[in-house]
Every structure is written in structure tokens, then in C-alpha cells.
Structure 1
Amino acid sequence: MTAPRGRTGRPPLTEERKAEIRLEIARAAVDLFVTQGVTATTGEQIGQAVGVSSRTVWRYFPSKESCVRPLFSAGIDLTVACLRDWLPGQPLEQLFDQERTSEHGLIGGGDRNTVGALVRLTRTEPGLRAVWLQTHDEAEPVFARALAERAGQPADALRPTIRAAMFNATLRAAVEHYAWRTADASADPATAEAELRATLRWALAVAAEGLK
């Protein structure tokens, strides 16, 4: 009887390592998009910048524009966590004034300028704009579930659905305003963080006022 053979070759990647690779690809893609434009950038160049093959790039992402998605998703994930931690009676504009955003900031230190540059590119690059809008579109029902849970309402109730749509639009508009008009890649990190927080606080305060 022949003994079964053990697995040969490289051990499978952990989910944590896969997430790290996706983020490395995203950062490299943005750097290339900024320096030479989206059209001139290839999957091979993105892979070379990370030290992987273009085949690996396409294994993780269906297109070069979609390579940036992890940088957008990180902000959405943080926002959902803040919604779930939002205390009863706490003003909406204080949503991001929480411990989880104090340690690493609203955008993880080294990615702050990268994300700012990426959002600025969405203004002129239709492919990146589509990814940005799609990320927010897919985030909206997640926001609605978090708001419904907080209010003790069904996930498909109309009230949290409408509130999620308003919140989602407010968040997107505030980040775009910051990136397009306020963010400065050369700014001191502490100053940039303070400017982003101030922009979000003001935008959420306006949203909390509702339509009058």
C-alpha cells in the first residue's frame, strides 16, 4: 500500500497575507497612476512594483482600475465600525471622535497621502470614478444594517435605508471636498488629519440638520 504523498510546493497563503498583497498592489497602482496616468499603466508594471507577476495581479483584481479598491474599502470598514460604536445621544458630527480613530487616524498613517491622491484622480479618470462610486454603492446597505441595528429596526425598514443613503452621500461628498480642495500631499500628517476630521464633522453636522 502506497503512503499518501504530502503537499509539495509553497504553503497556501493565509487570508491575512492575501489582504496584505492586495493592499501592496493597491498602493503600487496608485503610485503609477499618479506618475504616468492610468492609461499608460499596465498590469505588468503594477506587478513589478510589488514583486509579483501580472498573473498574480489579475488573480486578485479583474482590472487595473479595480486594484485601488482596498484603499477605498478600508475607509468604509472603519466607518461601519464607528456606526456600530456610535453611542445613543451622541451627536452625529462626533461619529469619528472615537478611540478606534485616535490611534491610527481616519486613514492609516502611510496611506493618507495615497488615498488623497487617489480620490483626486477620480475626478478625471472615469475608470477610477466608477470604482469609487461602486464602493460607496455597495457600502450603503451595510450602513443601513448598522443604523437599523442601532435603532432596533428591521434591516430593510425604510427609515434606516433613507438615513444610510443620506449618510453615504454626505461621507462621499466630504471626502471628495477634502481631497479636491483641502488635502495637501506635503502637509504635516497631524495637520492633514485635523483638516479631514474638521471637514467630516462639518459635513455630518449639516446632514444632521436635515432638509428644512
Structure 2
Amino acid sequence: MTGRPEGRAGRPPLTERRRDATRMEIAEEAVRLFGAQGVAATTAEDIAAAAGISTRTLWRYFRSKEECVRPLLAAGIGIITERLRAHWRGETSLAQAISGIDDPGVVAAQPIGALRDLVRLSRDEPGLRAVWLETHFDAEAVFATVIAEGTGRSECDLAVRVEAGMLNAALRVAVENWALRPERAAGLPLGETLAAALYLVARRLEAEPPPHTDEKPVLDLPAPGRRAEG
């Protein structure tokens, strides 16, 4: 995810905005070409030509042709991060913050269709799947920082790391669920799908323990500080 140096306020400089716009254009063209002719048949030269830049410039931005799609994923993570911060600033509820991704202004500013195509491609293309998973791996540390800032805890706190991992997994699964639905299938928009996933996580965390049964739990773990018997 692209970020600005700490302490900088307002919009990023024009050169940074141009760089980010170029990276996003490359990402969209890469997804379009990957979808049309496959990853293996698409070269870095193809992507550069479609984006109107030199191959040398493309390699300045990205390590591989598969890496070209990362800005699409990073943009989504960045939006969610800012909405989480807005929630902890008291500006909105968590559900409203996440479901607000579907606001017309947000949707118009983001290549939602390209994101859907990319997630679908990642099912069968190992290189793209690796970028998808790596982006979420990096996002987990970002979410831990945001949770720590919002709740006054340390980002090294085990509970914070677990919460960040749960948040990250819920968001990843929700985006995949949204993207992989058939075009004509009924379903929630992206933001509402994300909010629904977070609601399910919260319900699981807050649920009453199940009544006693003779069935062995799926995860039979000892309480913290105790050794497992046997």
C-alpha cells in the first residue's frame, strides 16, 4: 500500500499523485490483458505498451508482470484502513464505515470491475494468487496498527494481532465471496458484503459458549497457562 511520510498533511504532491495514477493505469491494463489472453501469454512489453509507457519505466515500478496488479489491491486496503480510522475517531459505526465503500463517490473513484476480474483470475493463476495473499499478509500489520491506535493498546499485544488477523481474514473471504459470485446471482454489494463478514466475526466472538455435550470440541485447546493433559 502506498503511503505518505508521517506528519505530512493534505493531498500528496503532484508528482506523487501522477506516479500513483500511472501505477493504477498499469494495474488496470495488466488485468485487462491477463483476462483477455492469459498471464503466460502476456508480456511486460504488452502491459507497458497498453499503458503508454516504456518497458523500462514499468520495471521501475514493479518487480514482475504479476506485481503490476498490486495497486488495485492496495487501493482497497487503503480505503478500508481510512474507514477504520474514521470509525475510531467516532465519526461512524464500524458497519457504516465498511459498508460506506459502496457510496457512489467511492465506487466511481475506484476500478471496482477490475478488482473483481483480478480476484477471479487469482483462482487459477498462481502468480496473481501470490500477489493477492502477499498483499493481505502486509495488510495484517497495517490493521494491527490501526486497531492499536483506535483502542489505546500496543500493536504487539497478542489480542491486537489476533483481532487484526481475524479482520484481515474476514475481509479477504468477503471480497472473494463478492467477486466469485455469478454475475446474475443475487447478493450484497461489496461494502455490504464486507460489513456482513465483520458482523459474523463479531457475533462469533460475542456468542454464548455452547451447552455441554459429550462431543469433543473441534479445537480442544487448554486454557492459557495450563498444559494439555495426556
Shorter-chain-normalised TM-score: which range?
0.7 to 0.9
Question: 1:144 & 1:101 partners in 2: Cα distance?
Answer: 24
Q: Tell me the amino acid that sits aligned with residue 207 of structure 1.
A: V
Match of 1:208 in 2: 202
Aligned counterparts, 1:1-212, within 5 A: 14-87=15-88, 92-98=94-100, 102-105=103-106, 107-109=107-109, 111-182=111-182, 184=183, 195-211=189-205
Is there any run of 5+ residues in structure 1 with no aligned partner, and where?
1-12
TM-score normalised to the size of structure 2?
Answer: 0.76
Work out whether residues 99 and 194 of structure 2, in 8 Å CA contact, stay in contact via their aligned partners in 1: no
TM-score (norm 1): 0.82
Distance in 1 of aligned mates of 2:163 and 2:189: 25
Unaligned runs of 5+ in 2: 1-13, 208-230
Return the offset for 1:90: 6.5
> How far 1:170 sits from its partner (Å)?
0.1
Number of residue pairs matched by the alignment: 192
Q: CA shift at 1:110, angstroms?
A: 5.8
After superposing the two structures, state which structure 1 stretch, 73-82 or 152-161, moved more.
152-161
Could you tell me how far apart the structure 1 residues matched to 2:93 and 2:85 are?
14
Q: CA deviation at 1:91?
A: 5.5
Identity %: 46
CA distance in 1, matches of 2:69, 2:164: 24
Q: How far off its partner does 1:62 sit?
A: 0.6
Q: Report deviation, 1:198.
A: 2.7
Distance 2:149 2:87 in 1: 11
Q: Deviations over 1:75-133 (max 9, x none)?
A: 000111011111469654333144x763523x445611111000100111000000000
Change (3 A) 1:158 1:209: same
> Partners of 2:22 and 2:192 in 1: how far apart?
32
Cα distance change on mapping 1:111 and 1:80 into 2, 3 Å:
same
- Kept in 2, the 8 Å contact 1:120–1:179? The answer is yes
Letter in 1 for 2:180: W
Secondary structure, counterpart of 1:134 in structure 2: helix
For residue 200 of structure 2, what is the amino acid of its counterpart? V
Alpha-carbon distance in structure 2 between the residues aligned to 1:95 and 1:89: 9
Three-state SS of the structure 2 residue aligned to 1:144 is helix
- Please tell me whether the aligned partners of residues 99 and 195 of structure 2 are also in contact (alpha carbons under 8 angstroms): no
Alpha-carbon separation, structure 2, partners of 1:142 and 1:29: 26
Question: Given the superposition, is the C-alpha separation of residues 114 and 72 from structure 1 closer, same or farther in structure 2, using an over 3 Å criterion?
Answer: same
Q: Which amino acid aligns with 1:166?
A: M
